[in-house]
Structure 1
Amino acid sequence: MFGLLNLGSLVLGLIAWILPVVNLMRYETHNNKNWITLSVMSISVCSLSLCFQILYIYHKVTVEDWSGLMDTMYAVAFASAALLIVTIVLNAITLIVYRDRTAK
């Protein structure tokens, strides 16, 4: 059951990247007034994905699976940092692109 946390984290991470890309693809549409909602959803889903990873690590510590933790912590830390950085960059690009349109 706890293995689903990793799958859920992966799916939510992909959603966190897809939402700002959808925002950028819809830039030409003149009625795209909910861009900020999608950006907030993207950051929220990224946070939820990272929370799933923390819960999975907590489970591993609780069952004292030290070898499992030592084997996977580098990859988990790298993937979590990459998820956060890419999500922030994509949402920053979205903010820069839409800032000019909102000001008009």
Structure 2
Amino acid sequence: MKQMNILLVCAGGMSTSILMKKLQAYSDSRGINDQIKAVGLSVYEDVYQDFDVVLLGPQVSYRMEEVQKTTNLPTASIPPLDYAVGNSESIFKLAEDILS
């Protein structure tokens, strides 16, 4: 596995910050040291340059086309169930799939 820099985007950055902690713990347990950051829609344009992939919370998935055009990065919406339960394995697979 190659290290990834994952940007999580939601409405305000609050719910994704909880998910970010779960994803970081999962990444650390795999010994890969991925960089994961959670931000709100209002600030993603200021930070996306440091990331490989953008994952959107389900509540902002309607903005995916705009985020993709703005960042020119692989972008996907996290499935609602994976998001709700913090399914780190599935979310990492999603990021790996859209990067390859």
TM-score normalised to structure 1 length? 0.25
Hey, which of these two has a bigger chunk of strand by percent? 2
> Which structure has the larger Rg?
1
Hey, which of these two has a bigger chunk of helix by percent? 1
